[in-house]
Chains A and B, each alone.
Chain A
Amino acid sequence: MFCGAVALCAFAVSAPALAGGVTAGTLIENTAVASYDDGAGPRTINSNTVTVRVDELLDVTLTSLDPGPINTRPGDAVLTFELTNQGNGPEAFTLLANPTVAGNDFDVTVRAIAIDSNGNGIYDEGIDEILTAPQTTAVLAADAVLTVFVLVTVPDGVTDTQTSAVDLNAEAVTGSGTPGTVFAAAGVDGGDAIVGTTSALATARGELVVGVANVALAKSVVLRDPFGGASAVPGTIATFTITAQVSGSGTINDLIVTDAIPDGTTYAAGTLALDGTALSDAADGDAGVASDAAGIAVDLGDVAAQTTRTVTFDVTID
């Protein structure tokens, strides 16, 4: 950093090692030394040492780590937050998740609050510690950062694009309040604990948006009789077209389209196709399988909303 004038720099420098400054409990000891000449030679004397102990500052911040609203559907969802002990001493924090936020289209149920025990940033069932009530973190060192998960359940009956928010609150166990509030002898080494600029309280909001995909199947048939017309007579080839249209948002997983071969008709071998591309009749590497006895089945896998897939096959009227 370049500073042209000391007076201008003075307020811009001094980045303490810790966000919360000198660690609580630190002793500040000051001694002055005087040297002088009394005619008999140089002498040195010390002043007494004055000592003050730095008290504990209570500060906390909380932020949502989700990049945006969590896309969800009825069932379980996880919201991720980061808590930072912004104070200068060891402190634990109580956590409270509030799923009833003004403006919610629906309210989730909070199942639990969990700590990212293995530090991988992802909630791992059975590995990450579930906090028991009253949900309280371990004592965190000054500047320590903790990833917190709020486990929620989205109720049945929600519809596509509905949103919900969950507020997570953190409060210093020692206490909170107006900045400057003193909790006597409640800090490190019997020192005081003092509420800092964050009021020793923090709130962060996690958001959910429902992505419900719906699939609509439509089936149509085109007849071609042996005489160039469209009548249903023996020998007529009937081409069935099944469209699977996924609407809403999100994804339909493991979508399989099946259809039986109508009575009085026979599957025309080798005619199964997906989006115009032929699929073999055998159960093999491709998505389709077809036979006169079992009908047709096409595995579309995961289909994103706003996608349409088309399955076609021919039968011959007996």
Chain B
Amino acid sequence: MTTFKTITFALAAAAMALPGAAFATQAAASAIALTGDVKAVKVITAADGTETTELVEPNTIIPGDRLIFGTDYVHGGSEAVSNFTVTNPLPGAVRLAPDADPALEVSVDGGKTWGVLAALTVPNSDGAVRPATHTDVTHVRWVLASIAPGAKGRLTYPAIIR
């Protein structure tokens, strides 16, 4: 039997543990909830040779396998929020998949500067710069100008285990 290895932490716990009155701003329930998940992409070859991909639980994964990291957001509050930015540092053991959306906003310097990958560069040891590649990506992010109450969505990025 394989063990199911997706571990879910209730990160809202940090906020709930705070004494309410003293930290009114932080203690107020967040209007937005984020829920992360991860799926493995398995290629299934049919008897006639055609290949289809399927998202499965990442029970058995090895270097080279493809993962889809997803974050669901839902706005449970009553007022629109603005400047909604979801930032996702890439785990060190994965690289951004080569077929990631070219329009995805990424960082190759630990989240200091951002842009589409094609616009970014990485310094070489000799001081010159080279174009950044998917392997260089340290963070991805999504920026939405505003979210209306009740709105929800799903943000994903594909990654390959190094």
Contacts and interface: CB of A to CB of B under 8 A. Distances in A.
Do the two chains belong together in a single complex?
Answer: yes
Interface of A: 1-7, 9-11, 13-14, 16-18, 20-22, 26, 28-43, 45-57, 88, 182, 184-185, 190-192, 194, 196
B155 A32 contact: yes
A184 B69 contact: no
Category for how many chain B residues contact A: 35 or more
Contact of A51 (B7, B63, B118): B7
Interface in B1-20: 1-3, 5-11, 14-15
25 contacts: A2-B130, A3-B131, A6-B102, A6-B117, A6-B118, A9-B131, A16-B162, A22-B162, A28-B91, A32-B86, A32-B155, A33-B86, A33-B87, A35-B84, A36-B32, A36-B147, A43-B30, A47-B11, A47-B35, A47-B36, A48-B9, A49-B36, A50-B38, A51-B7, A88-B62
B60 A47 contact: no
A20 B63 contact: yes
A35 B85 contact: yes
Contacts of B38: 28, 30, 50, 52
B144 to A, nearest CB: 9
Contacts of B63: 16, 18, 20-22, 54, 57, 88
Given A2-B130, A49-B36, A34 B73 contact: yes
Which 5 residue pairs spanning A and B have beta carbons closest together?
A21-B63, A10-B98, A47-B34, A47-B36, A32-B71
Contacts of A57: 62-63
A5 B69 CA distance: 26
A284 B114 CA distance: 86
A35 B83 contact: yes
B3 A190 contact: yes
Contacts of B79: 38-39
B41 interface: no
A230 B53 CA distance: 100
A5 B5 CA distance: 38
Given A21-B162, A55-B60, 4 more contacts: A11-B98, A14-B135, A20-B63, A49-B9
A31 B89 contact: yes
Q: Which of A5, A10, A20, A191 has the most C-beta atoms of chain B within 10 angstroms of its own C-beta?
A: A10
B35 A10 contact: no
Contact of B93 (A3, A20, A22): A22
A41 B28 CA distance: 12
Contact of A36 (B6, B25, B35, B81): B81
A182 B60 CA distance: 8
Nearest to B69: A30
A51 B3 CA distance: 13
Contacts of A46: 11, 14, 34
Contact of A34 (B62, B86, B130): B86
Contacts of B15: 45
B134 A10 contact: yes
A55 B93 CA distance: 12
A29 B95 contact: no
Contacts of A31: 11, 36, 88-89
Contacts of B98: 7, 10-11
B3 A36 contact: no
Interface in B45-89: 58-64, 67, 69, 71, 73, 77, 79, 81-89
Given A2-B130, A38-B81, A54-B62, A192 B8 contact: no
